[in-house]
């Protein structure tokens, strides 16, 4: 009897042990959330585009609007950031699908095709799609005018399409919708080019029209001043990051919270001001002259700017010098300023310049004066924004810039944000405002334009230098590895996004 009970208890024990083991296996085999996987890995992998807005390697390392946001998000998650740039948008889609990246952060719109396949994060700025042409050429004011003259233009172009777009569903769908309503409408998709390639073709006259986002057009005008807006094809569309679609809400929830906090703190506005805050100001004649000077004058003076720029980007120093003197070392003004950096006599003496018309002394002294201005800017101002306050001080005087900061605070703005302060600078011309300030009247509007001009020149020099580097095949890619996707995967991805429209738009119609 005892033996019978002993065997029975052994049997129960074995069943209990098996149940516990099975339960443990089930617990261990329960899949981790996407957020847990990222934290366990210790790395957030972000797919992006290598361009002048989202991500690029600058003089101080990695830079770009999406890069800086991604870096902040990775810090929020407590992990390292790994940027994975691509040269084509279509390369990013299979990388996200296959789990090679966790997020796409590349300034992409919430197009119907992307919304169908991926989950968008919150919108962080807006763009419209624009038809772009070359200044001096025929400009259609609307779609009706374009359609009326299309056949004539195609005939003049030896029967070739006059509109080319990149191979991206964002633009494909827009033009496919137009074609559905207007069957005679004709365009061609170029899967081997990026937006910059096609904008350059328009600028050189090789192509009549292309389509680009409004922000891309504004930024590219600093390099190709001949491109211009013909008319808008769409209303403003939201830009966001994208994640895989799944039942897992963990990463998505963190992303929503992150963008909410970033907007509320003003950090998002600060980053947008840094990268695109200057794009609305564009002077065609001035930009044309500046682009010519990039080839005719900059090569002579760039060694000097590089030699004395020290902690500043030499291209910024070059932009400042162009704003001051148009790179004329013997420039003079009726108000008594002289030389490449247009120093006043007292300023020159304060920085050790004995001959203001000596370009080497002028650049060295101008940089030293700029450094002193930066050092005076309060530490409450973000490091990357201090330079704009310093440049405004270089132009109108430190005291007046501080007056504008106090006025900004009094009006409920942020005195540490250049985007807020620059809007108050012009008020220093008006008596009802400058009578309340410590230093009184100032031509604040000129100081604002002065800084914005330098920012435009700076952007143009960056684009010009990068373009020359690429053309000379001297681009240093050691700091990043571009996403490489097999052609078969690209074909599958493009097919998934274009569906029935791609077969129509992939040919000359």
Give the separation between CA 173 and CA 164, rounded to whole angstroms.
Answer: 14
Give the separation between CA 108 and CA 215, rounded to whole angstroms.
Answer: 12
DSSP 308-325: H-TTS-HHHHHHHHHHHH
Which listed residue (34, 216, 273, 324) is catalytic? 324
Give the separation between CA 493 and CA 496, rounded to whole angstroms.
Answer: 5
State the SS3 of 226-245.
CEEEEEECCCCEEEEEEEEC
CA distances from 488 to 51, 81, 457, 492 (A): 25, 29, 42, 6
Q: Give phi and psi for 99, each to the nearest 5.
A: 80, 15
CA distances from 98 to 102, 108, 351 (A): 10, 19, 58
CA distances from 277 to 28, 198, 271 (A): 50, 24, 9
Neighbours of 259 (CB within 10 A): 19
CA distances from 192 to 8, 166, 200, 355 (A): 75, 8, 14, 54
Q: Provide the strand spans (E) within 50-102.
A: 56-58, 61-63, 80-86
What size, in residues, is the chain? 509
Per the annotation, the verdict on 324 as an active-site residue is yes
Give the separation between CA 337 and CA 275, rounded to whole angstroms.
Answer: 31
Angle 444-471/314-325 helices, nearest 10 degrees?
130
Q: Give phi and psi for 241, each to the nearest 5.
A: -85, 165
Give the separation between CA 212 and CA 205, rounded to whole angstroms.
Answer: 17
Structure tokens at 448: 């604002």
- HSE-CB of 248 using CA atoms within 13 angstroms: 17
Instruction: Single out the residue of 258, 214, 313, 10 nearest to residue 122, CA to CA.
Output: 258
CB 251 within 8 A of CB 34: yes
Neighbours of 178 (CB within 10 A): 15
Catalytic residues: 324
């Amino acid at each position: 009897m005892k033996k019978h009970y002993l065997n029975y208890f052994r049997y129960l024990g074995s069943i209990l042990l098996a149940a516990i083991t099975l339960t443990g296996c089930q617990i261990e085999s329960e899949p981790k959330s996407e957020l847990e996987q990222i934290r366990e890995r210790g790395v957030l992998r972000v797919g992006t585009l290598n361009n002048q807005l989202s991500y690029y390697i600058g003089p101080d390392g990695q830079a770009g609007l999406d890069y800086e946001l991604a870096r902040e998000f990775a810090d929020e998650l407590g992990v390292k950031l790994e940027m994975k740039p691509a040269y084509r948008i279509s390369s990013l889609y299979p990388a996200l699908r296959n789990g090679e990246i966790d997020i796409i952060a590349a300034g992409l719109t919430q197009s119907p095709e992307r919304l169908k396949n991926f989950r968008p994060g919150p919108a962080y700025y807006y763009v419209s799609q624009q038809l772009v042409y070359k200044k001096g050429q025929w400009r259609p004011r609307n779609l009706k005018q374009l359609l009326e003259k299309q056949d004539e233009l195609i005939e003049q172009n030896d029967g070739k399409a006059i509109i080319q777009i990149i191979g991206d569903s964002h633009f494909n769908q827009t033009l496919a919708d137009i074609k559905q309503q207007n069957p005679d409408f004709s365009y061609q998709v170029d899967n081997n080019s990026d937006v910059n390639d096609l904008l350059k073709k328009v600028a050189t006259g090789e192509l009549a029209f292309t389509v680009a986002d409004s922000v891309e057009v504004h930024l590219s005008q600093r390099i190709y001043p001949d491109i211009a807006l013909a008319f808008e094809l769409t209303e403003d569309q939201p830009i966001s990051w994208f994640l895989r679609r799944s039942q897992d809400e963990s990463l998505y929830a963190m992303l929503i919270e992150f963008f909410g906090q970033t907007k509320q703190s003003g950090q998002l506005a600060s980053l947008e001001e840094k990268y695109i805050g200057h794009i609305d100001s564009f002077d065609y004649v001035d930009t044309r002259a500046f682009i010519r000077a990039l080839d005719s004058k900059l090569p002579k003076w760039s060694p000097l700017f590089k030699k004395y720029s020290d902690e500043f980007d030499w291209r910024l120093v070059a932009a400042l010098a162009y704003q001051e003197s148009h790179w004329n070392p013997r420039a003079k003004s009726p108000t008594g300023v002289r030389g490449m950096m247009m120093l006043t006599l007292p300023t020159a003496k304060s920085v050790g310049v004995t001959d203001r018309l000596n370009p080497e002394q002028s650049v060295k002294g101008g940089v030293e004066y700029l450094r002193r201005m930066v050092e005076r800017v309060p530490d409450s101002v973000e490091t990357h924004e201090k330079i704009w306050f310093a440049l405004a001080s270089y132009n109108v005087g430190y005291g007046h810039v501080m007056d504008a900061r106090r006025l900004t605070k009094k009006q409920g703005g942020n005195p540490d944000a250049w985007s807020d302060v620059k809007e108050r600078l012009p008020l220093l011309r008006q008596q009802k405002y400058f009578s309340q300030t410590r230093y009184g009247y100032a031509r604040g509007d000129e100081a604002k334009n002065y800084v914005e001009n330098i920012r435009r020149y700076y952007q143009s020099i960056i684009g010009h230098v990068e373009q020359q580097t690429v053309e000379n095949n001297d681009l240093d890619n050691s700091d990043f590895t571009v996403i490489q996707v097999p052609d078969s995967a690209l074909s599958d991805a493009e097919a998934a996004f274009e569906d029935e429209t791609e077969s129509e738009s992939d040919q000359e119609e």
